[in-house]
Amino acid sequence: MAKQIQNKTLLMHLLILFLYASSLTVSARIAPLLQNYGNSIFRSSFHTIYDTSNYGLLHLNNGLALTPQMGWNSWNFFACNINETVIKETADALVSTGLAELGYNYVNIDDCWSSVIRNLKGDLVPDRKTFPSGIKSLADYVHGKGLKLGIYSDAGAFTCQVRPGSIFHENDDADLFASWGVDYLKYDNCYNLGIPPKKRYPPMRDALNDTGRKIFYSICEWGVDDPALWAGKVGNSWRTTNDINDTWASMTSIADLNDKWAAYAGPGGWNDPDMLEVGNGGMTYQEYRAHFSIWALAKAPLLIGCDVRNMTAETLEILSNKEVIAINQDSLGVQGRKVQVAGIDGCAQVWAGPLSGNRLAIALWNRCSKVATITASWASVGLESGIHVSVRDLWQHKVIKGDAVSSFSAQVDSHDAHLYIFTPSTASYSAQA
Ligand SMILES: *[C@@H]1O[C@H](CO)[C@@H](O)[C@H](O)[C@H]1NC(C)=O
Ligand SMILES: *[C@@H]1O[C@H](CO)[C@@H](O)[C@H](O)[C@H]1NC(C)=O
Ligand SMILES: *[C@@H]1O[C@H](CO)[C@@H](O)[C@H](O)[C@H]1NC(C)=O
Ligand SMILES: *[C@@H]1O[C@H](CO)[C@@H](O)[C@H](O)[C@H]1NC(C)=O
C-alpha cells in the first residue's frame, strides 16, 4: 500500500516535471508596464519615443538578466593569449580594484580555452598547456572570490579559433559546463554549416535548462538574422552587430546599429552591442566616456574588455562611475535611445531613456569634429512642456541646474558625451494633475 502511494506520488512528480518542461517557451510578463508611467509628467508622444512593445516579456524566464549582465571578458584585450593565470589574476584584480563590488561579477573566458580536439569520450577538454588545472578548479577559484565564471562555445562545427564547436553536442557540453560550475555561456556563430541561427541556438537553451543549473545564455550570432525579433525566447542577451574594435568609427557605428532594436530589450533579455573597449588605448578619454555613457543608457551588457590588472586611473574612473552604472542597472530596464539629432550629418545627438521613479537618463553626445552646444527639448525627450526638472551631471557628480524647463542645453567637447539624470520636480507635476 505504502509502495503504491509512493508510486502514485512518483507518477505525479513525473507529470509535474513533464508539464514544467513543456512550459519551456512560455513567457511571463513582469508588472508594472510602462502604460501608467508618470501620467501628468510625460506627453502622449512618450510611448512612441520610447516604444517598449516587448518590454518586460520574460520569454526565456530562467530568472537571470533582470538587469544587463556586468563583468569582464578576455577577448578584446587578450584575444587567444589566455591562460588560467590571467583569468585568476583578473578575478583578483576585479576584487582589489573595487569593480566586483560595483557589480562586475562575471569573469568570462572567450575563445581558446579548449583543446583543438575532443577526447576519446567525445568531451571537450581544456587546453592542457594553458589551463592545466582545468575549468572546475578555475570556477572554484572564481567562486571563492564571490564572482561567477563564464565560458565560450560555438553554435557550429568549430569555434572562430577552430576549437571544437557544440552543434550536435549541446546536451553533453551543457552538462559538462554545469558539472564544472560554469555560470555563463557565450555562444558564437563561426563554422555554422549554413544552418539558420533560429535552428542552431534553441537546442543549447534547452540543454542549459535541462542541467538544472542557472546559466546565463549569451547569444552571439552577430545580428545577422535580426535576433532581437526572436532571441528573447532563446537567450538572456543577443549580439546585434559584428564585433566591436577599439576605434571611434566602430564604436559609433555599433551604437547606431544596436539602437534600431531598442523596443525589443527588457528585463530577462537584452540587446548586446558587444563588449567594452574602454581602457584599450584606441580612443581618447572623452571617446571612452561617451562609449561607456551610451552603453549604460542603452542597457547594454557592461563587460569590461581591457586588462583590469593594469588600468590607468582614467580607465578605472570611467568603469567605476557608480551613477552611470546605476543607469544601466535601473530596475525599470528600458533601453534608452537616440531621440534627437542636429548639426552636420546629425552629429549633435540627444539620447534618452526612462528610469524608475519618473526620471529620465539624458545623454548629449557630440559626434561632430568641433565643440557644440546641444539642446534637449522637452518635446524630443517626451516631457510635458511645463515640467520643471533638476539636472544632475553624472560625470561631474553634482546637480548643475536645479530648475530647467522646456529645454536644456550644454556645450559638449568634440567626441565627448555628457550624461544626466532629469528628475521632475513634484511641485510642477502635481500642479498640473
Ligand atoms: C599567461 O598569459 C599572459 C597574457 O597573455 C602572459 O603574459 C603570461 O606569460 C602567460 N603565462 C603563462 C604561464 O603562460
Ligand atoms: C527552465 O525553464 C523553466 C521554464 O521556463 C524555468 O521556469 C526554469 O527556471 C528553467 N530552469 C533553469 C535552470 O534555467
Ligand atoms: C573597425 O571597425 C570599423 C567600423 O566597422 C572598420 O571600418 C574597421 O575596418 C575596423 N578595424 C579593424 C582593425 O578591424
Ligand atoms: C600596463 O599598461 C601600459 C599602458 O597603459 C603598458 O605600457 C604596460 O606595458 C602595461 N604593463 C603590463 C605589465 O602589462
Q: What's the pLDDT tens digit per position in 281-294?
A: 999 999 999 999 99
Is 18 a residue whose pLDDT tops 80? no
Displacement of CA 104 from its chain's centroid (Å):
12
Residue 36 has pLDDT above 90, yes or no: no
The residues annotated with a catalytic role in the active site are 188, 243
pTM greater than the 0.85 cutoff: yes
Quick check: 352 pLDDT over 50? yes
CA distance 132 to 137: 10
Closest ligand 1 atom to Cα of 85? 1
Give dist(CA 233, CA 131) in Å, integer: 34
Q: Is the pLDDT of residue 87 over 60?
A: yes
Counting atoms of ligand 2 from 1, which one is nearest the CA of 25?
5
Integer CA distances (angstroms), 71 to 306, 334, 415, in order: 11, 20, 26
* Residue 28, pLDDT score: 57
Residue 23 scores a pLDDT above 50: no
Q: What is the pLDDT of residues 238-264, one digit of tens each?
A: 999 999 999 999 999 999 999 999 999
Q: Tens of pLDDT along 108-117?
A: 999 999 999 9
pLDDT for 35 equals: 53
Residue 11 has pLDDT above 90, yes or no: no
Residues 6+ apart with CB under 8 A from 244: 76, 250, 251, 254, 273, 274, 275, 277
Contacts of 197 (CB under 8 A, 6+ apart): 155, 189, 219, 221, 224, 225, 227
Residues facing residue 405 across a β-bridge: 388
Better pLDDT: 228 or 3: 228
Quick one: pLDDT band at residue 2, thresholds 50, 70, 90?
A: very low
- The pLDDT tens digits of the residues spanning 122-158 come to 999 999 999 999 999 999 999 999 999 999 999 999 9
Q: Mean pLDDT for the chain? A: 91
Nearest ligand for residue 216 CA: 2
pLDDT mean over 313-341: 97
H/E segment holding residue 70: strand 70-73
pLDDT at 428: 67
The pLDDT of residue 59 is: 76
User: Which burial class, exposed, middle or buried, applies to 226 when counting CB atoms under 10 A from its CB (0-12, 13-18, 19+)?
Assistant: middle
Q: Tell me which DSSP letter residue 164 carries.
A: B
User: What is the DSSP secondary structure assignment for residue 152, as one 8-state letter?
Assistant: E
**Residue 51: which pLDDT band, with cuts at 50, 70 and 90?**
confident
Strand 348-355 and strand 359-366: pairing? Answer: antiparallel
At 195-227, the pLDDT tens digits run 999 999 999 999 999 999 999 999 999 999 999
End-to-end CA distance of the chain: 68
H helices of 261-312, in order, are: 285-297
Average pLDDT rounded to a whole number, residues 27-35? 52
Among candidate residues 263, 234, 247, the one with its CA nearest the CA of residue 354: 263
Classified as helix, coil or strand, 354 is strand
Percent of the chain having pLDDT more than 90?
84
Ligand 2 atom nearest the C-alpha of 208 is 14
Q: Show Cβ contacts of residue 249 under 8 Å, excluding neighbours closer than 6 positions.
A: none
Other beta carbons within 10 angstroms of residue 199's beta carbon come to 11
Q: What is the DSSP letter of 431?
A: H
Q: Give strand pairing partners of 393.
A: 398, 420
> Can you list the positions of beta strands (E) in 158-262?
184-188, 216-219, 237-239
Does pLDDT of 379 surpass 50? yes
Residue 225 C-alpha cell reads as: 538574422
Q: Which of 76, 83, 84, 307 to mutate to test the pocket of ligand 1 (most atoms within 8 A of CB)?
A: 83
Can you read off the three cell numbers belonging to residue 153? 562555445
pLDDT for the residue 52 = 79
The DSSP output letter for 346 is G
Give 23 Cα–ligand 2 centroid separation in angstroms: 9
Residues 292, 324 contacting (CB under 8 angstroms): yes
**Nearest-angstrom CA–CA distance, 299 and 18:** 35
Ligand having the closest approach to the CA of 281? 4
Q: Please, what is the angle between helix 285-297 and helix 248-259, to 10°?
A: 10
Ligand 3 touching residue 245 (CB < 6 A): yes
